[in-house]
Amino acid sequence: MSRACAATIHSAEHMKAALPAKVILRTSGFMRKSLCVVWNTSEKHPYIPSVYSQGNGKDSPKMYFLHRPADAGLLRKGEWSMKEPPYNKLFVPTYKREGAPMVRGKGMYLYDKNGRKYLDFGSGIAVTALGHSHPAIVAALRAQGSKLIHASNLYHMEPQIRFVNLLVKHSFGSRVFLCNSGTEATEAAIKFARKWATRKNRLKYHVLSFTDGFHGRTYGGLSATAQKKFHAGYVPMVPGFHYAPYDDIAATKKVLRKHDYAAVFVEPVQGESGINSAAREFLTFLRAYTNKHAIALVFDEVQCGVGRTGLLWAHQHFGVTPDMMTLAKPIGGGLPLGAVVCKDTISRVIQPGDHGTTFGGNPLACALGEVVLRMVSKKSFLAGVRSKGAYLKGRLEKLAGVHDTIREVRGFGLMVGVEMDADPSKIIAACRAQGLLVVKAGHNTVRFMPPLVVTRADIDKAVRLFSKVLGRRAR
């Protein structure tokens, strides 16, 4: 039987008092910061605490481990040492990973190597739509994994056929290109649009996208991402990309008049920048303008699609249909899978050899994609997402009336952002220390994107933990 303990540590002496008896700490100068120690005293993991540094000033929160002498092999009996996790030495530091490795997931929860349990309201950044280890996902993995894992796109594969049939049935498209990720879907859509548009006018290759948008990390996707912070160190961007203010018709008209465009890329609901939604009038204007000037309208629904907003596709909220739609994240049930859904007007110009992918549309990922689409596309399931999303948003809006550090709560369905009055990094770290996983977004926003199978009881617990963190910071 495990017993969880926690204490907030403000000094080395305070830490020594809070830890088990006869424990001596050797510190290395960072004890000026406020630290939170959380440990588990189960028989399986006796006294292996994690230490969360709350930071000071511009310092970012960090997590440290307390290692027993048997593990460290450097200290005398009875002593403990504090150091950063060793795992980061293995990886190119593109992510700031902290804490014990995650080893298991079940339903709404993730579990780390030290036995700690986390209520997951990030869904692996909007990926695990059906939660962790959903029985239907596990069954599909086992069934397909025992048959065929890879054959290449030189051949037809049954899971691809079933998945794409479903995707076409439940969308505006007539053909689908399968890939591995959202950024690959963006790259494909750029190529398809340019080939389609330049058939009659070789200068009609320009691409318009919008401020605060996010379309991927590869060069085409990055060039379409109108955020300088992502461009830093990687300029120059791909030629022919231009930006206009999001949700601003007048400013967009001015940019559109300057070049011959092949495509306009837009997220109906922006995720990375803080859960910002376009107005119906803005998307309606884009549709009318692109129709008139033979420009491909591409909706990026990598994060906001597949039921996340309470309808199967986010653009359905606005009554506007694009020429292409990019998908990824939840569509593969946790495995890498991306897609470009196309109208015939676009797809008919593409010939064998124009584009390709070795792993795209992997049969294992497509088998999971079929499970996800069959479940999420049900009207009753989507109605539940809308209902639970409204409940989550309402609970968070009530918190805004209590905590003046909350500036705004916004979102659709189970894609909700809470904008804070300052950088929320420390809040997110403190939530993790309390057993709640949420994700940071732009404009000081905390993203709440739980699995779509979340219950109201789960929402109540998440909001209670979030409120607890905000209350402690206010004191």
Whether residue 440 lies in the annotated active site:
no
What sections of 74-155 are H helices per DSSP? 123-126, 135-145
DSSP letter (8 states) at residue 317:
G
Instruction: Find, among 137, 26, 162, the residue nearest to 83 by Cα.
Output: 26
Neighbours of 51 (CB within 10 A): 22
* Two tokens, residue 81: 């040492």
d(CA 330, CA 327): 8
Report which secondary-structure segment, H or E, holds 26: strand 24-26
Catalytic residue among 210, 214, 282, 299: 214
d(CA 177, CA 380): 29
Catalytic residue among 329, 388, 426, 440: 329
* Two tokens, residue 82: 């504090």
Return the SS3 of 377: coil
Whether residue 318 lies in the annotated active site:
no
d(CA 126, CA 447): 10
Buried b (16+ CB within 10 A) or exposed e, 378-405: eeebbebbbebbebbbebbeebeeebeb
* Concatenated DSSP letters of 252-303: HHHHHTTS-EEEEEE-SEETTTTSEE--HHHHHHHHHHHHHTT-EEEEE-TT
**Identity of the amino acid at 219:** Y
Does the CA dihedral 342-224-268-447 come out positive or negative? Answer: positive
Neighbours of 443 (CB within 10 A): 15
Whether residue 172 lies in the annotated active site:
no
**Which distant-in-sequence residues (6+ apart) come within 8 Å of 393 by Cβ?**
409, 411, 416
Instruction: Find, among 70, 67, 77, 71, the residue nearest to 39 by Cα.
Output: 67
* Two tokens, residue 29: 């100068």
The answer to whether the beta carbons of residues 306 and 317 sit under 8 Å apart is: no
Catalytic residue among 212, 300, 323, 458: 300
Phi-psi map region of 307: left, alpha, beta (phi>0 left; psi -120 to 50 alpha): left
* Concatenated DSSP letters of 405-460: TEEEEEEETTEEEEEESS--HHHHHHHHHTTEE-EEETTTEEEE---TT--HHHHH
Active site residues: 214, 300, 329
